[in-house]
């Protein structure tokens, strides 16, 4: 019963069959009751019509075998209890009964009798109950004959109606099946029934999202190919320089340049893969992620890079300053920051914070500072990374989240993918990313505001 057509037909046919059976049985019983009432009325009218007849010289007919073609029997009794008239011969007839309608049991079965007094006589009109029941059943079945023909017609019409009603759904399926994989235009919704239109609307929404995703992928592949062309060309030139070096010093310098180029290419490829995994993805495994532990882990990983660039990297204290001097990752007790936890994918959130800190370290001049902090704001957890770098103009706030976009004139070496990765991960966690100027208008502060539900781990 996985077929919708089979289910609808089964339920509809069962409902028609049950309804027809119940209705037929009720009608049959009603017709039997009406026939019984009609027969009683017939007995009464016959008895009343015989009240003015003369029965003084009536002769009782000779008792013979009962006839099978009579409707009822008329008996007339005298005042002293003698039967003076009998319309039909019968071996067993009911005796004197009470006036009006009554049911009398005899050796030959039940009789329905109506008695009425008339000029010193008692007139009885009697009818066998078995004969009444047979005649009533025949009348009822005769009345039900059109009904018996109507039920199959209703079943056929119901089947045809269901098949025709589901034809539009099959037409939509055939229309979608015949489409090439590259065609993502919406299917028309106007001729569809109201019950199928929400499915078509949802399908069109899916097609729109697929079209947008394909456009993003095409743009991403085009941008990635363009961005990879430059470092690959540089690597080829650096390799040629290394192979053509004439002395040891030049060979060492060329090898170092090639090593730096390989590191930049590896980072670009790593960020491309990260963006590919995170863009449009959903949170796979939701766990409690402690922001203090997350911050310490990322800071410890990037401390060598900060040391090499002489950047003071650490967790800011509650007052906003670095908690314990240069290049440290103190715990919450040292910083005075509250312990907060958010629900999300631990690996994705770590990649998000790593990109924020990595961007801040790479674009902050030597001797600068990068602070990581978190706070609770009205039940929302806010994770912030602030630096003392050159800052970002407010007009560029929206564009820096685009892939491969770098602020004109910015120093450092990057691919322009860090903030795009951050935004993709934040959107997957229903979080909002904001960019503001740092304290005193110096530097940049990037904050990720999570949804409500921040709590102590």
Average pLDDT, the chain: 76
Q: Does 286 score more than 70 pLDDT? A: yes
Identify the band that residue 200 occupies on the pLDDT scale cut at 50, 70 and 90.
confident
Give the model confidence (pLDDT) of 292-306 as tens digits: 999 999 999 888 888
Nearest to 54 by CA among 28, 80, 78: 78
* Rounded-to-integer distance, Cα 283 and Cα 292, Å: 21
Return the structure tokens found at 259. 């090593």
* Rounded-to-integer distance, Cα 183 and Cα 345, Å: 35
Give the model confidence (pLDDT) of 230-251 as tens digits: 567 767 777 777 777 777 877 7
* Rounded-to-integer distance, Cα 369 and Cα 360, Å: 9
Dihedral sign of CA atoms 221, 222, 223, 227 in order: positive
**Residues 338 and 315 sit within 8 Å (Cβ to Cβ):** no
Q: Where in the chain is the domain with CATH 3.30.565.10?
A: 284-452
Query: What is the rounded radius of gyration, in angstroms, for the C-alpha atoms of the chain?
Result: 50
Interaxial angle between packed helices 248-278 and 346-363, expressed in degrees from 0 to 180 and rounded to the nearest 10: 140
**Which pLDDT score, from 0 to 100, does residue 68 have?**
45
CATH classification of 284-452, choosing from 3.30.70.580, 2.60.40.1890, 3.30.565.10, 3.40.30.10?
3.30.565.10
* Rounded-to-integer distance, Cα 282 and Cα 285, Å: 9
* Rounded-to-integer distance, Cα 257 and Cα 247, Å: 16
**Which pLDDT score, from 0 to 100, does residue 296 have?**
92
Residues 6 or more apart whose Cβ sits within 8 Å of residue 244: none
**Which pLDDT score, from 0 to 100, does residue 20 have?**
77
Interaxial angle between packed helices 4-49 and 129-165, expressed in degrees from 0 to 180 and rounded to the nearest 10: 150
Evaluate if pTM is beyond 0.85: no
What phi and psi, each to the nearest 5 degrees, are found at residue 315?
-95, 130
What's the average model confidence in pLDDT over 303-315? 89
Q: Where in the chain is the domain with CATH 1.10.287?
A: 182-278
Q: Does 30 score more than 70 pLDDT? A: yes
* Rounded-to-integer distance, Cα 278 and Cα 274, Å: 6
Nearest to 175 by CA among 354, 317, 167: 167
* Rounded-to-integer distance, Cα 347 and Cα 21, Å: 65
Q: Where in the chain is the domain with CATH 3.30.450?
A: 4-59+70-160
Q: Does 398 score more than 90 pLDDT? A: no
* Rounded-to-integer distance, Cα 426 and Cα 450, Å: 8
Fold classification of 182-278 is Helix Hairpins (1.10.287)
Fold classification of 4-59+70-160 is Beta-Lactamase (3.30.450)
**HEC states along the chain?**
CCCHHHHHHHHHHHHHHHHHHHHHHHHHHHHHHHHHHHHHHHHHHHHHHCCCCCCCCCCCCCCCCCCCCCCCEEEEECCCCCEEEECCCCCCCCCCCCCEEEEEEECCEEEEEEEEEECCEEEEEEEEHHHHHHHHHHHHHHHHHHHHHHHHHHHHHHHHHHHHHCHHHHHHHHHHHCCCCCCCCCCCCCCCCCCCHHHHHHHHHHHHHHHHHHHHHHHHHHHHHHHHHHHHHHHHHHHHHHHCCCCHHHHHHHHHHHHHHHHHHHHHHHHHHHHHHHCCCCCCCCEEEEHHHHHHHHHHHHHHHHHHCCCEEEEECCCCCECCCCCCCCCHHHHCCCCCEEEECHHHHHHHHHHHHHHHHHHCCCCCEEEEEEEEECCEEEEEEEECCCCCCHHHCCHHHCCCCCCCCCCCCCCCCHHHHHHHHHHHCCCEEEEEECHHHCCEEEEEEEEECCECC
**Residues 162 and 193 sit within 8 Å (Cβ to Cβ):** no
Give the model confidence (pLDDT) of 420-440 as tens digits: 778 888 888 888 999 888 877
The C-alpha angle with vertex 149 and arms to 145 and 155, in degrees rounded to 5, equals: 145
Q: Which residues pair with 279 in a beta bridge?
A: none
Other residues' Cβ atoms within 10 Å of the Cβ of residue 99:
12
* Rounded-to-integer distance, Cα 155 and Cα 148, Å: 12
**Which pLDDT score, from 0 to 100, does residue 104 have?**
80
**Which pLDDT score, from 0 to 100, does residue 2 have?**
66
Q: Does 186 score more than 60 pLDDT? A: yes
């Amino acid at each position: 019963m996985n077929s919708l057509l089979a289910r609808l037909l089964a339920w509809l046919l069962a409902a028609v069959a049950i309804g027809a059976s119940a209705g037929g049985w009720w009608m049959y019983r009603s017709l039997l009751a009406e026939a019984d009432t009609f027969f009683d009325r017939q007995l009464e009218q016959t008895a009343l019509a015989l009240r003015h007849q003369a029965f003084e010289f009536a002769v009782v007919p000779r008792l013979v075998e009962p006839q099978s073609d009579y409707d009822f029997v008329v008996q007339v009794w005298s005042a002293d209890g003698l039967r003076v008239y009998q319309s039909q011969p019968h071996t067993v007839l009911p005796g004197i009964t009470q006036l009006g309608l009554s049911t009398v049991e005899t050796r030959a079965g039940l009789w329905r009798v109506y008695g009425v007094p008339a000029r010193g006589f008692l007139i009885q009109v009697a009818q066998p109950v078995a004969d009444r029941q047979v005649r009533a059943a025949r009348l009822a079945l005769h009345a039900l004959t059109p009904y018996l023909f109507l039920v199959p017609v209703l079943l056929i019409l119901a089947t045809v109606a269901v098949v025709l009603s589901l034809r539009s759904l099959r037409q939509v399926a055939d229309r979608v099946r015949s489409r090439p994989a590259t065609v993502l235009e919406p299917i028309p919704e106007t001729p569809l029934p109201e019950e199928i239109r929400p499915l078509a609307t949802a399908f069109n929404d899916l097609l729109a999202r697929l079209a947008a995703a394909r456009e993003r992928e095409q743009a991403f592949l085009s941008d990635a190919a363009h961005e990879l062309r430059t470092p690959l060309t540089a690597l080829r030139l650096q390799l040629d320089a290394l192979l053509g070096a004439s002395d040891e010093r030049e060979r060492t310098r060329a090898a170092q340049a090639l090593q730096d180029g390989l590191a930049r290419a590896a980072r670009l490829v790593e960020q491309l893969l990260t963006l590919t995994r995170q863009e449009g993805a959903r949170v796979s495994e939701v766990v409690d992620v402690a922001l203090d532990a997350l911050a310490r882990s990322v800071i410890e990983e990037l401390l060598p890079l900060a040391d090499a660039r002489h950047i003071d990297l650490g967790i800011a204290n509650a007052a906003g300053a670095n908690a314990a001097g240069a290049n440290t990752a103190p715990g919450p007790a040292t910083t005075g920051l509250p312990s907060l936890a958010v629900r999300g994918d631990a690996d994705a959130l770590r990649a998000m914070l790593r990109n924020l800190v990595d961007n801040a370290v790479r674009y902050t001049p030597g001797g600068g500072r990068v602070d990581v902090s978190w706070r609770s704001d009205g039940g929302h957890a806010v994770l912030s990374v602030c630096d003392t770098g050159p800052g970002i103009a407010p007009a560029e706030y929206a564009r820096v989240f685009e892939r491969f976009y770098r602020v004109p004139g910015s120093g450092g070496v990057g691919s322009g993918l860090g903030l795009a990765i951050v935004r993709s991960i934040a959107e997957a966690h229903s979080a909002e990313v904001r960019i503001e100027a740092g304290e005193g208008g110096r530097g940049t502060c990037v904050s990720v505001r999570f949804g409500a539900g921040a709590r102590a781990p």
